[in-house]
Structure 1
Amino acid sequence: MQYDEGYAPGTVGVGPHPRPWPAGDRWDPELLAHGDRRNVVDRYRYWTREAIVADLDTRRHDFHIAVENWAHDFNIGSVVRTANAFLAKEVHIVGRRRWNRRGAMVTDRYQHVRHHPDTADLTAWAAAEDLPVIGIDNLPGSVPLETTVLPRRCVLLFGQEGPGLTEEARKHAAMVCSIAQFGSTRSINAGAAAAIAMHAWVQTHVFG
């Protein structure tokens, strides 16, 4: 089994667990014996991957993240990583099934990721789940994210770097929220936008 997850031994994590070892199904004997170098918070040290996912599933928040992937967007990995950090229910990849996982820093192992071949499939799924789709893009007619209360149950949808949300996505969005910018650039990348939107959701529904 591979536990390195891209981190050099001795630089991240903890060494072998001292004896006696804790008992129970959540503990991974190989990690207990050899140490846990994974990029996980301390409470999950020495746990099996399955046990970590099962525990996260008991606490996941009610928002989903969706990102359009029509040209192998390199930001998708960072979106997945941030979704894991904010404990999103699921991440939905719309368009190409393959995406660059490097930026995810293996957090996709702990985050549920679902694929949709096109926007129509995503929006049909969301409608069946009674989840409004909220687009995030600086478009004419969009409302400021900073003054908008995001629904507790929703799908936050992001377009690709550069072109932003597709026309199809805009048509199916219940509303589109913009993120205030003050510099010369026309847009920020999807990874940064996703982090800002997720934090706004958490401020309202976790700390509000």
Structure 2
Amino acid sequence: MVVNNLEQGFFAIGIQNGKTPENLGVLWRSAQNLGASFIFTIGNRYSKQASDTHKAVGAMPYFHYDTFDDFYAHLPKSALLIGVELTEDAEPLETFKHPRRGVYLLGAEDHGLSNQAIKKSHKLIKFSSALSLNVSVAGSIVMYDRNTKGTVVY
């Protein structure tokens, strides 16, 4: 089998200023099941997740960044940062074309993404719902959508 490195993709998912360790653990478990290459947190850090029953944090790379600037400085080359946020100009997930190399960033349910994260995101996506979703549910839906649709070259 010949592998074309330019056609290979990866994705990662993480939370900025996550509110509860349970949400983080559920997101990690979904990330492992849905093929994420790595997971990350920005801001709050939790050492143990009771809801990470598959021990995803031990099965894939986990990165923690104290600040958004630190995270952004370590964004993988050629990866697009995709913010998940209910903003006026965010693309609906239903029509969004996922990039081959994407890093998805979610905000905590009570504050969402920081203004800095919104401005620095290459793409913003949202759900067609009137209210925000639980962060681990939203992240799981994004990853499932990516797996179902596949990716395109950006």
TM-score, normalised with respect to structure 2: 0.84
Letter in 1 for 2:70: D
Structure 2 equivalent of residue 139 of structure 1: 87
Deviations 1:152-205 (A, max 9, x none): 101011000122111121111011101122xxx621111110011001111122
Gaps of 5+ in 1: 1-59
Q: Number of matched residues?
A: 143
For the pair shown, the structure with the greater C-alpha radius of gyration is 1
Q: What is the TM-score when the length of structure 1 is the normalising length?
A: 0.63
Match of 1:172 among 113, 120, 139: 120
SS of aligned partner of 2:144: helix
SS of residue matched to 2:22: coil
Please tell me the residue identity of whatever aligns with 2:15.
V
What is the alpha-carbon root mean square deviation over aligned residues?
Answer: 2.0
- SS at 1:115 equivalent: strand
Aligned to 1:165, what secondary structure does the other structure show? Answer: coil
Give the corresponding residue for 2:111. 163
Q: Pick from 67, 82, 86 the counterpart of residue 30 of structure 2.
A: 82
Question: Paired residue for 1:203, among 120, 145, 148?
Answer: 148
Q: Which runs of 5+ in 2 are unaligned?
A: 1-7
Q: What are the within-5 Å matches in structure 2 for residues 41-80 of structure 1?
A: 62-69=10-17, 71-72=19-20, 74-80=22-28
Residue 117 of structure 1 pairs with residue 62 of structure 2: no
- Structure ranking higher on relative contact order (CA contacts 8 Å, 6+ apart): 2
1:68–1:165 contact (8 Å) kept in structure 2: yes
